[in-house]
Amino acid sequence: MTTRLPHALRSDAADNRARILEAARALFCAQGLSVPTREIARRAGVGPATLYRRFPTKQALVTEAFADQMRECRAIVDEGSADPDPWHGLCLVIEKICELHARDRGFTEAFMSTFPKATEVTAGREYTVKAVTELAHRAKEAGHLRSDFLVPDDLILMLMANQGIRAATVSSQVAASRRFAGFVIQMIQASPQHSPPPPAV
Protein backbone atom coordinates (compact mmCIF):
# COMPACT_ATOMS: atom_id res chain seq x y z
CA MET A 1 0.00 0.00 0.00
CA THR A 2 2.62 2.54 1.07
CA THR A 3 4.80 1.85 -1.98
CA ARG A 4 1.91 2.70 -4.32
CA LEU A 5 0.70 5.81 -2.49
CA PRO A 6 3.19 8.39 -3.96
CA HIS A 7 2.42 7.16 -7.47
CA ALA A 8 -1.33 7.40 -6.78
CA LEU A 9 -0.94 10.96 -5.54
CA ARG A 10 1.09 11.90 -8.61
CA SER A 11 -1.57 10.32 -10.82
CA ASP A 12 -4.34 12.25 -9.07
CA ALA A 13 -2.42 15.50 -9.42
CA ALA A 14 -1.86 14.86 -13.14
CA ASP A 15 -5.57 14.08 -13.61
CA ASN A 16 -6.56 17.27 -11.78
CA ARG A 17 -4.18 19.32 -13.90
CA ALA A 18 -5.54 17.84 -17.13
CA ARG A 19 -9.16 18.49 -16.07
CA ILE A 20 -8.35 22.09 -15.09
CA LEU A 21 -6.71 22.77 -18.46
CA GLU A 22 -9.58 21.15 -20.36
CA ALA A 23 -12.12 23.25 -18.44
CA ALA A 24 -10.07 26.43 -18.88
CA ARG A 25 -9.76 25.94 -22.64
CA ALA A 26 -13.50 25.33 -23.03
CA LEU A 27 -14.53 28.32 -20.91
CA PHE A 28 -11.92 30.69 -22.36
CA CYS A 29 -13.08 29.71 -25.83
CA ALA A 30 -16.75 30.32 -25.02
CA GLN A 31 -16.53 33.31 -22.67
CA GLY A 32 -13.09 34.85 -23.06
CA LEU A 33 -10.49 35.45 -20.36
CA SER A 34 -12.92 37.18 -17.99
CA VAL A 35 -14.32 33.85 -16.80
CA PRO A 36 -13.67 33.52 -13.02
CA THR A 37 -11.13 30.93 -11.90
CA ARG A 38 -13.74 29.56 -9.46
CA GLU A 39 -15.95 28.74 -12.44
CA ILE A 40 -13.01 26.94 -14.08
CA ALA A 41 -12.44 24.95 -10.88
CA ARG A 42 -16.15 24.06 -10.68
CA ARG A 43 -16.18 22.94 -14.32
CA ALA A 44 -13.06 20.83 -13.70
CA GLY A 45 -14.59 19.22 -10.61
CA VAL A 46 -11.87 20.43 -8.26
CA GLY A 47 -11.71 22.95 -5.44
CA PRO A 48 -10.25 26.44 -5.93
CA ALA A 49 -7.31 25.52 -3.69
CA THR A 50 -6.43 22.62 -6.00
CA LEU A 51 -6.53 24.93 -9.02
CA TYR A 52 -4.25 27.46 -7.33
CA ARG A 53 -1.78 24.75 -6.33
CA ARG A 54 -1.45 23.74 -9.97
CA PHE A 55 -1.66 27.30 -11.37
CA PRO A 56 -0.83 30.00 -8.78
CA THR A 57 -1.87 32.84 -11.11
CA LYS A 58 -4.37 33.26 -13.90
CA GLN A 59 -1.47 34.23 -16.17
CA ALA A 60 0.08 30.80 -15.59
CA LEU A 61 -3.21 29.11 -16.44
CA VAL A 62 -3.66 31.20 -19.60
CA THR A 63 -0.10 30.46 -20.72
CA GLU A 64 -0.52 26.72 -20.35
CA ALA A 65 -4.05 26.64 -21.77
CA PHE A 66 -2.95 28.29 -25.01
CA ALA A 67 0.46 26.66 -25.40
CA ASP A 68 -0.69 24.64 -28.43
CA GLN A 69 -2.14 27.71 -30.18
CA MET A 70 1.05 29.68 -29.59
CA ARG A 71 3.07 26.87 -31.16
CA GLU A 72 0.67 26.75 -34.12
CA CYS A 73 0.88 30.52 -34.49
CA ARG A 74 4.68 30.31 -34.62
CA ALA A 75 4.49 27.51 -37.21
CA ILE A 76 2.17 29.64 -39.38
CA VAL A 77 4.47 32.67 -39.45
CA ASP A 78 7.48 30.42 -40.05
CA GLU A 79 5.70 28.85 -43.04
CA GLY A 80 4.79 32.25 -44.45
CA SER A 81 8.28 33.65 -43.90
CA ALA A 82 9.84 30.68 -45.69
CA ASP A 83 7.77 31.28 -48.84
CA PRO A 84 10.02 32.72 -51.60
CA ASP A 85 7.09 34.92 -52.69
CA PRO A 86 6.61 37.36 -49.77
CA TRP A 87 3.12 38.39 -50.89
CA HIS A 88 1.96 34.79 -51.07
CA GLY A 89 3.57 34.17 -47.69
CA LEU A 90 1.83 37.18 -46.14
CA CYS A 91 -1.55 36.12 -47.55
CA LEU A 92 -1.04 32.65 -46.10
CA VAL A 93 -0.24 34.12 -42.69
CA ILE A 94 -3.31 36.39 -42.72
CA GLU A 95 -5.65 33.58 -43.76
CA LYS A 96 -4.32 31.02 -41.27
CA ILE A 97 -3.90 33.44 -38.37
CA CYS A 98 -7.47 34.69 -38.79
CA GLU A 99 -8.75 31.11 -38.85
CA LEU A 100 -6.71 30.16 -35.78
CA HIS A 101 -8.13 33.11 -33.84
CA ALA A 102 -11.67 32.53 -35.13
CA ARG A 103 -11.68 29.10 -33.53
CA ASP A 104 -11.03 30.46 -30.03
CA ARG A 105 -11.92 33.95 -28.80
CA GLY A 106 -9.96 33.33 -25.60
CA PHE A 107 -6.77 32.90 -27.59
CA THR A 108 -7.30 36.23 -29.33
CA GLU A 109 -7.74 37.93 -25.96
CA ALA A 110 -4.62 36.24 -24.60
CA PHE A 111 -2.63 37.16 -27.70
CA MET A 112 -3.57 40.84 -27.49
CA SER A 113 -3.54 41.19 -23.69
CA THR A 114 -0.63 42.26 -21.54
CA PHE A 115 0.16 39.66 -18.92
CA PRO A 116 3.55 40.63 -17.43
CA LYS A 117 4.10 37.16 -15.99
CA ALA A 118 2.77 35.23 -18.99
CA THR A 119 6.19 35.26 -20.61
CA GLU A 120 5.49 32.56 -23.20
CA VAL A 121 2.39 34.38 -24.49
CA THR A 122 4.32 37.66 -24.63
CA ALA A 123 7.25 36.00 -26.38
CA GLY A 124 4.93 34.33 -28.89
CA ARG A 125 3.19 37.61 -29.67
CA GLU A 126 6.52 39.42 -30.11
CA TYR A 127 7.82 36.62 -32.36
CA THR A 128 4.70 36.80 -34.53
CA VAL A 129 4.77 40.58 -34.84
CA LYS A 130 8.48 40.59 -35.70
CA ALA A 131 8.04 37.89 -38.37
CA VAL A 132 5.00 39.58 -39.94
CA THR A 133 6.81 42.93 -39.92
CA GLU A 134 9.73 41.45 -41.86
CA LEU A 135 7.37 39.65 -44.25
CA ALA A 136 5.37 42.84 -44.85
CA HIS A 137 8.57 44.77 -45.55
CA ARG A 138 9.58 42.21 -48.18
CA ALA A 139 6.09 42.29 -49.73
CA LYS A 140 6.26 46.10 -49.96
CA GLU A 141 9.67 45.94 -51.61
CA ALA A 142 8.24 43.48 -54.14
CA GLY A 143 5.49 45.99 -54.95
CA HIS A 144 2.57 43.81 -53.79
CA LEU A 145 1.67 45.33 -50.42
CA ARG A 146 0.36 48.84 -49.86
CA SER A 147 3.08 51.13 -48.58
CA ASP A 148 0.85 52.45 -45.79
CA PHE A 149 0.18 49.03 -44.23
CA LEU A 150 1.49 49.22 -40.66
CA VAL A 151 2.69 46.43 -38.40
CA PRO A 152 1.74 45.90 -35.61
CA ASP A 153 -1.04 48.54 -35.74
CA ASP A 154 -2.95 47.16 -38.72
CA LEU A 155 -2.25 43.56 -37.72
CA ILE A 156 -3.86 44.14 -34.30
CA LEU A 157 -6.74 46.04 -35.95
CA MET A 158 -7.33 43.06 -38.24
CA LEU A 159 -7.38 40.61 -35.29
CA MET A 160 -9.76 42.85 -33.35
CA ALA A 161 -12.16 42.92 -36.30
CA ASN A 162 -11.82 39.18 -36.79
CA GLN A 163 -12.58 38.67 -33.10
CA GLY A 164 -15.94 40.37 -33.59
CA ILE A 165 -17.15 37.65 -35.93
CA ARG A 166 -19.92 35.61 -34.30
CA ALA A 167 -21.66 32.55 -35.72
CA ALA A 168 -23.82 29.71 -34.44
CA THR A 169 -21.13 27.07 -35.00
CA VAL A 170 -17.35 26.99 -35.10
CA SER A 171 -17.39 25.90 -38.74
CA SER A 172 -19.62 28.86 -39.69
CA GLN A 173 -17.38 31.20 -37.73
CA VAL A 174 -14.28 29.87 -39.51
CA ALA A 175 -16.01 30.26 -42.91
CA ALA A 176 -16.90 33.87 -42.07
CA SER A 177 -13.32 34.49 -40.94
CA ARG A 178 -11.96 33.17 -44.24
CA ARG A 179 -14.25 35.53 -46.12
CA PHE A 180 -13.13 38.41 -43.90
CA ALA A 181 -9.46 37.53 -44.54
CA GLY A 182 -10.16 37.57 -48.28
CA PHE A 183 -11.50 41.11 -48.06
CA VAL A 184 -8.53 42.20 -45.91
CA ILE A 185 -6.07 40.83 -48.46
CA GLN A 186 -7.81 42.75 -51.27
CA MET A 187 -7.73 45.95 -49.21
CA ILE A 188 -4.01 45.83 -48.46
CA GLN A 189 -2.84 44.71 -51.90
CA ALA A 190 -0.98 47.41 -53.82
CA SER A 191 -2.85 46.54 -57.04
CA PRO A 192 -6.05 44.76 -55.98
CA GLN A 193 -7.17 41.91 -58.21
CA HIS A 194 -10.73 41.92 -56.81
CA SER A 195 -11.04 38.15 -57.04
CA PRO A 196 -14.15 36.77 -55.29
CA PRO A 197 -13.56 36.14 -51.56
CA PRO A 198 -14.28 32.71 -50.08
CA PRO A 199 -17.99 31.88 -49.63
CA ALA A 200 -19.71 32.81 -46.37
CA VAL A 201 -20.58 29.19 -45.60
pLDDT at 5: 45
Give the CATH number, domain containing residue 19.
Answer: 1.10.10.60
Residue 151, phi then psi, degrees to nearest 5:
-120, 130
Asked if 84 and 28 sit in the same domain, the reply is no
Q: Are residues 60 and 154 located together in one domain of the fold?
A: no
- Greater pLDDT, 198 or 23: 23
On whether residue 193 sits in a domain, the answer given is: no
181 pLDDT above the threshold of 90: yes
Same domain, 120 and 156: yes
Identify whether residues 76 and 175 lie together within a single domain.
Answer: yes
Domain shared by 79 and 38, yes or no:
no
For residue 82, the enclosing domain spans 67-188
Half-sphere exposure of 153 (CA within 13 A, CB side): 3
Q: Which among 9-18, 39-48, 148-157 has the top mean pLDDT? A: 39-48
Q: How many domains does the chain have?
A: 2
Assign 3-class secondary structure to the chain: CCCCHHHHHHHHHHHHHHHHHHHHHHHHHHHCCCCCHHHHHHHHCCCHHHHHHHCCCHHHHHHHHCHHHHHHHHHHHHHHHHCCCHHHHHHHHHHHHHHHHHCCHHHHHHHHCCCCCCHHHHHHHHHHHHHHHHHHHHHHHCCCECCCCCCCHHHHHHHHHHHCCCCCCHHHHHHHHHHHHHHHHHHHECCCCCCCCCCCC
Mean pLDDT of 17-31: 92
Q: Are residues 75 and 37 in the same domain?
A: no
Give the whole-number percent of the chain exceeding pLDDT 70: 89
- pLDDT tens digits, one per residue of 122-173: 888 889 999 999 999 999 999 999 999 998 899 889 999 998 898 888 899 9
Whole-prediction pTM: 0.83
Query: Residue 148: which CATH number?
Result: 1.10.357
